Every structure is written in structure tokens, then in C-alpha cells.
Amino acid sequence: MIEWRSLLKSQEGSILPMFAVVIVILISIMAVAIDFSRYVLVSEKLQTAADSAAVAAARSAKRYVKMEIDPGEYTDICCDSEGKCSPCCKDCGDPFEVTGLESDLIEKQGYKRYCCSCGCGPVKLLDRWVVYENNGAEARAAAETFFNLNKPKEMGAAAGGESEISSITLYNDRNSPLYPSAVVKTEGKLKTLMLNFMDKMYPDSNMSELGASRCAQGGTFYYDLNGKYHRAAQEGCN
């Protein structure tokens, strides 16, 4: 009888440590599930913020054109051999090239101000391209504005996290396969809700926050001389 009681006490003593280990494992699994789900969701929000910043930067580019304009003819008075005079048009000169904003020269028909009084002759479109002006200052400002409007609150200072644009690269070189586009890279930190308990158990684990980085590319499309959209830039977020 004494031997059975000793055996039962021995079994009870071995079950308690096992139960404690199981509880720790279950809590760890639950912590991983909760914080990983939050991490996935917030990472998607960070991607959305990066996408909006890249598109805003790309749309800030200015579209330029080069045109060959025949100024046409100007109004004058012409007289014949009999001395009869009447209004007529005379040649204004040779065609010349003009470079300017597409919105001004084409959309608003600004090229007409180079025409003489009788109207222009043939007008040819020689080239089209885009430029991120002022060393990209406007593009960077637009990217920062839209990123701040869309960045995840879970990565905000109030939530114990942080997020920012780590770099903005603008491709102005027409020889680059990434022209014309803007590539925005972002990074952020998410404060964990449950995994931080592991820092107390394992001081070197550093699980109080989870880091994320995302990249987005915005393309600046424009019409080529053939009237079709310019090719899309190659992928810049490899």
C-alpha cells in the first residue's frame, strides 16, 4: 500500500513540470499567431503607403515636347501691275524648333502663338519625354505627403512603433531601363503585444518589435511619337 502511494506522488510530481512546459508552449504559439497576424496586416498597410508615395512621385513629372513649327504667312497688302491693292499673305520664314511643356504647346495649343497672322503651316512633333524637375524636389515632397497620409497607425509613435521612407530614387536618364519611374523604399517597426514576454525569458531574443521593409515603383507614362504609350519601365523593386 505504501508503495502505491509513493508511486502516485511520484507521478503527480512529474506531471506538474510537464504541465508548466505545455502552458509555456501554448502561450508561445498564441503569441506568435497574434503578433504574426498583426505583422502581416500592418506590412500590407506599409506596402499601400509605399505604393501611394511612388505613384505620387511619378505623377509629379513634367511632360515635355519638341516641335517643328512652320510660322506660315503674315497679312500684308499686295498690289498688282495696274496698281490695284488687296490684302494678301506673305511667307514668315523658315520652320524652327520649339521645346516646352506638352500641356502648354499641345493641350492648350500654345504653339499657335508662334504662328503669323495668316496662320501656321505644318507643325511636326519631333520628340516627347518626361522630367522630374528641381532634382526631384517636387516628387520627393509628393511622396512624403502621400506616405504620411497612408502609413499604418500601428507603426506610429503613439503605438510605440515607427515608419518612414528610407529612400526615393527618380530615374530621369532616358537611357536607363528604369526610365521614367520613381522607386520608393520604406521601413517600419511594429511593437509586439505578446511576443515581448520572450525578452524577459531570453534577453537576447529582441522580440519587443518586428521590423518590415517594403518597396514600390511608380511609372510615368506618356505618349510616344506614334501616339501609343511609352513602354513601362523595368522592375525596380527586385
- Complete DSSP assignment for 29-68: HHHHHHHHHHHHHHHHHHHHHHHHHHHHHHHTPEEEEEEE
The residues pairing with 78 across neighbouring beta strands, listed in sequence order, are 86
The residues pairing with 210 across neighbouring beta strands, listed in sequence order, are 190
Residues in the chain: 238
What does the alpha-carbon distance between residue 75 and residue 118 come to, in Å, rounded to a whole number?
6
Structure confidence at residue 56 (pLDDT): 97
Kindly state the helix (H) or strand (E) to which residue 97 belongs, with its residue range.
strand 96-101
User: Mean pLDDT of all residues in the chain?
Assistant: 85
- Decide if 87 contacts 77 (C-beta within 8 A): yes
Percent of the chain clearing pLDDT 70 (strictly above): 77
Instruction: Give me the half-sphere count of Cα atoms (radius 13 Å) on the Cβ side of residue 216.
Output: 23
SS3 content of the chain, % helix, strand, coil (to 5): 40, 30, 30
Structure confidence at residue 76 (pLDDT): 92
Higher per-residue confidence, 56 vs 3: 56
**Alpha helices for 65-173 (secondary structure H):** 102, 137-150
Contacts of 187 (CB under 8 A, 6+ apart): 163, 164, 166, 211, 212, 213, 214
The answer, yes or no, to whether residue 62 has pLDDT greater than 80, is yes
Integer CA distances (angstroms), 173 to 159, 167, 217, 219, 233, in order: 41, 18, 16, 14, 12
Nine cell digits for residue 16: 506538474
DSSP structural state of residue 83: S
Give the residue-averaged pLDDT of 104-124.
Answer: 92
Could you state, in order of their start, the residue ranges of all structural domains in the chain?
Answer: 39-61+135-238, 63-131
The residues pairing with 213 across neighbouring beta strands, listed in sequence order, are 187
**pLDDT tens-digit readout, 33-45:** 677 888 999 999 9
φ/ψ region of 93 (left if φ > 0, alpha if ψ in -120 to 50, else beta) reads left
The answer, yes or no, to whether residue 127 has pLDDT greater than 50, is yes
Going by pLDDT thresholds of 50, 70 and 90, the confidence category of residue 226 is low
**pLDDT tens-digit readout, 166-197:** 999 999 998 999 999 999 999 999 988 766 66
Structure confidence at residue 7 (pLDDT): 45
**Which segment of 15-24, 61-70, 133-142 scores lowest on mean pLDDT?**
15-24
